[in-house]
Amino acid sequence: MKPLDVDAVQAFLMVADLKSFTRAAELMDSTQSAISLKIKRLEDGVGRRLLERTPRQVRLSAAGTAFLEPARQFVAAHQGAMASFGVKPRRLVVGVSHHVVGAELPGLLKQLGHSAPGLMMEMRVASSADVLADFDRGQLDVAIVLRHDNRRLDGEVILNEPFGWMAAPDFDWQAGEALRLATQAAPCSVRQMAVDALTDAGIAWTEVFVGGGVMTIGAAVSAGLAVAALGQRVAPRDTVDVGARLGLPPLPSREVVLHATASDPQARSALRALSAALRATAA
C-alpha cells in the first residue's frame, strides 16, 4: 500500500461530501478530470474502490464508508500541522437573505466546516434589500441574496431557487375562503411576490402568521397554521407544495446571487467552499 497523498484524500472527501465530481472540482479550483485522476490514484494506492460512480449518482462504496472518518482525521492532522506555522484563519462577514437559508442550514454549515476548516465566518441574516444595503456600505465581505428584478445584474449566480406554496400535507383550504398565509413582514419581496400572484388570480388571502425568518415561517407551516411561499430547497422537510392540489397560481423562481469584495486567495477558497456548499443543498 502506497503512502497517502493529502490532495488526493481531500479530493475524495470533497466528492464524498458533495456527491459530485463537478462540485468538488469547483471547490478545489481544479477540473473534473484532475479530481477523477487523483481519486483513481488514491484507489490504486489503497487497493480498494472508494466511490461508486453512475451517470447520475456518486456514492461511497463499503470501503469508502470505512475510510471516510479516518480520511477526515488524516486531513485534519495535516491542517493542524500547517496551522502550527501561525497562519491566521480567514474571517469573513457574510450577509444572507432570510429566504436563502432555512431548514438545511445545519447541513450547509457542516459541509462548509468540512470544506473550509480554517474559515471563521460571521453570518448575518436579514432581508435581501437590507443585506445588499449593508454590503454596499462596506459592512459585509459577502452578500448572498435573491434577485427579484433586473435593477442590479452584478454578482455571481449560485443557483436557481424554485418557489412553491408550502404547507403541511393535511393543510385544508376551501375555495371561497380566504387563504391563510404565513409571511415575512412587509416590505419582504417574497411576501409581495406571493400576494401579487394571489391577487392577480382573484384569490382572497389573509395573513395569520408573520415570522422573523424562514425558520419561524417554516414552523408555522409545519404546524398546519397556514401556507407560505417558500423556496422548496429551504422549506421544512415535513412540508409539501400544495399549489397544484389547491389550484393556486404558480410562483416564479428566483436566482440566488453572491456578491463579494474579498479577493485574496484564502477568501476565494472560502467563497468557493461557500458556493459549493449552497449548491449541494439543492441536490
Domains and CATH numbers, the chain: 6-83 (1.10.10.10), 90-161+255-281 (3.40.190.10), 163-252 (3.40.190.10)
Percent helix, strand and coil across the chain, each to the nearest 5:
40, 25, 35
Grid cell listed for 168: 403541511
What's the pTM? 0.72
How far is Cα 92 from Cα 94, in angstroms, rounded to an integer?
A: 6
Region 223-248: mean pLDDT is 93
Q: In what order do the strands lie in the sheet with 228-231?
A: 228-231, 163-167, 240-241
How far is Cα 280 from Cα 266, in angstroms, rounded to an integer?
A: 21
How far is Cα 128 from Cα 91, in angstroms, rounded to an integer?
A: 22
For 212-229, write each residue's pLDDT tens digit: 888 899 999 999 999 999
The SS3 call for residue 98 is: coil
pLDDT of residue 115: 65
At residue 79, what are phi and psi to the nearest 5 degrees?
-65, -35
Residue 86 has pLDDT above 70, yes or no: no
Residue 253 has pLDDT above 90, yes or no: yes
